[in-house]
Every structure is written in C-alpha cells, then in structure tokens.
Structure 1
C-alpha cells in the first residue's frame, strides 16, 4: 500500500532519515522488501513541526507545515532541498502506492487539521461500498475540510469527530470500530487494515491494527543510549540526540536490535520520556 516514517526528538534535518539512511524512505519508495507493493511511486508527503518558539500560536500550539506532491519521491528535487533546509523536532513522511483513489495532491499523506498530523499505510476494504455512510458520520463542521477522495482522510476526520483532541487512542479506536461496524453490515469480512501515525506536535501515537489480525509491518527504534552501547563505533549515531525516536514501516538499517517490531493490536506512544506500548482494540 504505502510506506511511512515518523521522527520525534531533538531537532533534526529530515534528510537524515528520508534520504541518507541505508534503507531510507526514498529507497523504500523504489524497493520495499516488506511492503505489500515493491514500488511506492504515486506521490509523497512531508509534514513537520517547527522548532520551539517558531510557528507557535497564542495558545502555545505548534502548527505543522505540509509539503505534498504527486511526483515519485525519488524524482523530486524539492523534497531534497526542503528536507535539508529545515530542522524539526517531529516530522512525518509518507510515500504512496495508490490502491484505488486517483493520484492527486489532495490524496497524498500526511493530512493536517490545526495542530494534528495523520497518515496511514493500509486500506479500508471496499471503501467505495461504505464511503457514504462513513462520511456522513463525520461532524458537519469538519466535513467541508475533506478535500481528497482517500479512505485515510475520512478515517482522520472520523477520529477528529470522536474526540482526537481529548483522547487520541480512544478516538482512533472509535473511528476504526465505526469502520468495522459499517463494513460488517455491508458484508465486508475484514474492513480495516493498516498502521497509522498521529501527532499533536508534542506526543506521537503509532497504531498497528487490522480486522484480520495480519497488519502491515511497523517498527520503532530502541532508545539511542542503548543503541550507542550496542554499537559504540557507529559514527552515524552522532547525528541523533538521546531522545530521538523513529517509527517506520520497515527498518532503516540491518543492525540487529536497533529497530523493534510493534506487536499486532498495539499502540506505541512516544513522547520526551521515551516510548511505551499499550494494547489497542485487542478484545
């Protein structure tokens, strides 16, 4: 379907992970060994939060910036320029393999609402069959913001409808349960498939869940001090601060122990204190 990466920690040039890693996101866009599709060339997106003190509103929220394109990620000079020109303490990047919706900029991830970013790898099965009922469940005040035609954008607005700002885990869970309820009523056996990332600029939530219990792959990095103790001679680790965390569809390198698989039906919560796992819709 797609591949994605999210970073949180000390401010970093996104290019360090998008372009320069051994198995970078751009490399995954051309050859994704663990993906459902080998090539993810139907557009890409980069969403990032500014460093502290920049782009902050009166309430103290940091609103993200988004750059999206229908170009293949490996062929876009602007992505190379922007990802080296900025520093960000939290950013999302996504490369797309379109399942059905058209290839257009408004269908590229990540999606944004106020301080929130959202992206997805996977699909709502037979989305066209249940799209109308799901869209009608979106709060009327939010519905006009849906600009594209993807299942992900509708899922995001369902999560916003169900209280994303108050309890992200419960809201994403309620959105997925609505998808499953509507899907099952329409005869769809396994309505939901995917891994999702959502952030408010301070905390990141990464979900791995599918109705079938066979979700797309998802990994996050071990904490940097532990990685340094395992690989004291790895010069590349000097790029990362002690609080750096990466969540990604598949590992960025081949070093054992650096990337840990997120279990099925789990949400990984990442914040300045580190990461922890919580069961998610596992009943």
Structure 2
C-alpha cells in the first residue's frame, strides 16, 4: 500500500511537513507503523497549488523518497497553502513515473492508498466506463489513476462526494459481477485548489488508517511551546495516513465509511456510502 499527506492552511515550506516532524512522511517511507508494508519505496510525488496559477504543479519520481535530492530541493524552496505528498508501495502495477501519485487533471489533484481487488479481471470493464473524451488522458496503469478518471466521468468537478460515491459503487458492482467479494479498499484525497476532500472506505468495512489534525487553537492551548503551532493560522489542517508524531491530542481517526471537507470556515465530516455508478 502507500502513505500520504494532504495539507491545507497557512502557506509553509513543504519541508516543514515532509521532513521535519518526528514521524514525517520521509520517515514513514522507511518505517511505516500502520501501513501494510513497513517500507514504501516504489516512487513518490508531491503536488502543490501556487497563487495566480491555473493548475497545480506536480513532481514525481520512481525512486524512494528518503534519498531523493530533487525532492529535498523542492521541499526546502517551495511554499504552498495546499499541497499533497505521496509515497508508493505498489500492489502489482509497474514502478514507473506515470504510476506515481498525485494525479492531475486541470485544477484537480488526486491521490490514493488502497486497491481494487483482482484489478486485472476488472480493468477492462472499468476502463470502458471512462468518458471517451477523458480516456486519452490516462497515462499509467494503476487502479488509482483509473479511479480518478472514473470519478471525473461521474461528475467530480460538479459534486466530488457524489462522484466518488458513484465511482465506488461502480467498482463494487463490477467486482461483484466478476465474483470479487470485497472489491474496493480506499483512503483518498482530492482537491480543486480551494477545498480538500478526504475519504475512508472499504467494501469489507475495515479500511486503511486515516487521521486528521485537531484545531490549531485547541492544540495551542495544550502545547503552548510547540513552535509549529505558532506559525500557522486557525484554518490549518492536515489529513494523513498515519500521525506525524506523538503530540497528545493532535490526531483524530477518520471514522470508518466517512469523508471530510476541509475549506475556509467550518470543516465538516459526513457518512460515506457508495451509490449506483451508472451515468
């Protein structure tokens, strides 16, 4: 499987999240505590939004994140208020740059941890469900990227929660048709540059780990000496595959079968249920 981080809030250097925490994403690439694999070394990617640009930037590579000099260079010089980072452990598809997350289409970023079970058996039927106008945009061979284009086909740009619910429903319908008992396992993040949506769901009801950070004002009250908390505003929020450290009160588990929306104002948490996936 994989590990990922989504950050939204006060613009900061990417390195403040990717390298500096006690159990940073780079540390997780070697020593994951909650992932299926301890080591996640089959590629990495970062995607970030910058002011006054129409589309996010994406940097991806096939090597492990822990010793990549280009990642260090980018992370220590790029500042953003909304960014994604992902380290990959392949579930069977090739280790190649086009299979590394996050994936981008127009203003949208998408990254995923999980699997479509028996994906080779389901791949053809699912690929045929992608809008023909979008299909040429698919560059790699992963189930994660195909999920992205299925969601785009099913209305992601208009209503992300509904599109992801229909995407999940379509995968489950297709899987059951092929005799796959539990077709889908997913924790995923998607953003349009203004808002961030994070989902946790699996067909068997036992999803991969996912956490969100507590409110900054509450954490300041608990930990007045924590320097990072003095540097970021009240709107700052992280969603992570596993906690970045052991700061008491900092991390909350995303409930099973749910999704959250991070945006200026009040963040919200909702129940998630797949819907029939037909267009």
Q: TM-score range by the shorter chain?
A: over 0.9
For the residues of structure 2 that align with 1:238 and 1:22, how far apart are their CA atoms? 18
What is residue 178 of structure 1 aligned with on the other side? 170
- Would you say the 8 A contact 1:122–1:216 is kept in 2? yes
Displacement after TM superposition at 1:223 (Å): 1.0
What is residue 18 of structure 1 aligned with on the other side? 18
Q: Which runs of 4+ in 1 moved over 4 A?
A: none
Of 116, 119, 131, which aligns to 1:124?
Answer: 116
Cα deviation per residue 1:184-207 (whole Å; 9 max; x = unaligned)?
000001000010000000000000
Displacement after TM superposition at 1:241 (Å): 1.9
For the residues of structure 2 that align with 1:13 and 1:239, how far apart are their CA atoms? 11
- Would you say the 8 A contact 2:13–2:75 is kept in 1? yes
For the residues of structure 2 that align with 1:226 and 1:276, how far apart are their CA atoms? 17
What is residue 43 of structure 1 aligned with on the other side? 43
What SS does the corresponding residue of 1:85 show, helix, strand or coil? coil
- Aligned positions of 1:7-86 closer than 5 A: 7-51=7-51, 54-55=52-53, 62-86=54-78
Of 102, 105, 111, which aligns to 2:94?
Answer: 102
Cα deviation per residue 1:132-187 (whole Å; 9 max; x = unaligned)?
00000000000000000000000000000000011000001100100000000000
**Does residue 142 of structure 2 align to residue 146 of structure 1?**
no
What is residue 230 of structure 2 aligned with on the other side? 238
Compute the TM-score of the two structures, normalised by the length of structure 1.
0.95
- Would you say the 8 A contact 1:69–1:108 is kept in 2? yes
Compute the TM-score of the two structures, normalised by the length of structure 2.
0.97
For the residues of structure 2 that align with 1:170 and 1:242, how far apart are their CA atoms? 28
What SS does the corresponding residue of 2:267 show, helix, strand or coil? strand
- Alignment coverage as a number of residue pairs: 275
What SS does the corresponding residue of 2:76 show, helix, strand or coil? helix
Of 245, 248, 254, which aligns to 1:256?
Answer: 248
What SS does the corresponding residue of 1:81 show, helix, strand or coil? helix
**Does residue 267 of structure 2 align to residue 275 of structure 1?**
yes
What is residue 182 of structure 2 aligned with on the other side? 190
Displacement after TM superposition at 1:242 (Å): 1.8
What is residue 157 of structure 1 aligned with on the other side? 149
What SS does the corresponding residue of 1:213 show, helix, strand or coil? coil
What is residue 88 of structure 1 aligned with on the other side? 80
- Aligned positions of 1:192-211 closer than 5 A: 192-211=184-203
For the residues of structure 2 that align with 1:14 and 1:258, how far apart are their CA atoms? 19
